[in-house]
Structure 1
Amino acid sequence: MADQKGDFIAGVVTGAVLGGMIGGVIGFVLAPRLSKGSAEGQRRDPDRLNGTSATPERPRLSASGESAMSSDWKKWENEAERIAQARRTLEAKIAELNEAIQATRAQLLVKEVPAPAAEENS
């Protein structure tokens, strides 16, 4: 029995060491690629990684291509409005959930308070 336990522990340690070595090699090989990709994404959209980019980028104005620009601008306005509507909907749902939580909490507190008649009988 003790021999099986020792073999098990040796297997776990060996697996952890080999897994760590293999994971380190894979990380060493892939890290430059991942770092390069995130740096390029950070240059394109600096607010993307920290989560502050909430609205799509506005189209730039140019002297030429007015019809294409109005189409881009309309797409941007539609996307911005869609995001704003989704935000309003989520805020309303969160408010409803908070009200339901408060009502449930109030009901539970009422049920937990012992009745005076039950205390007098004891």
Structure 2
Amino acid sequence: MKRKNDKAYKCKKCGRVTYPERVVCLKCGNREFEVIPFTDECTLITFSQIFQLPWGINDRYLTIGVCQFDNGIKAMGRITTPKVKNGMRMKANWKLFREIAGEDVWGWVFEPIK
């Protein structure tokens, strides 16, 4: 499936990488950006397990993590494995989580690389 949110942006003036897209660079105020594509692999930086879940999620808990892609971009998403540790290599996919009020909810899903 094609990713719907597969680009980050690098400021042409100061080099700061931002995700998601911004109109103005938060570091220098510049408005010109270079598009940077995501890579497929990333490294888990930190994670948390959530046990009190909102209505509509039928899992016992969710593991959410922040991963850094090989090109330096960081993003948060759901982790598919119950056994996680910081520094794990992960494969990133942009997937449909669920539907709320007729709208699709998409997000990053990280799976361990075997």
TM-score under structure 1 length normalisation:
0.16
> Whose strand proportion is higher, 1 or 2?
2
Structure showing greater radius of gyration is 1
Bigger helix fraction: 1
Structure 2 length normalisation: TM-score? 0.17
User: Looking at both structures, which has the greater relative contact order when contacts are Cα pairs under 8 Å and sequence separation is at least 6?
Assistant: 2
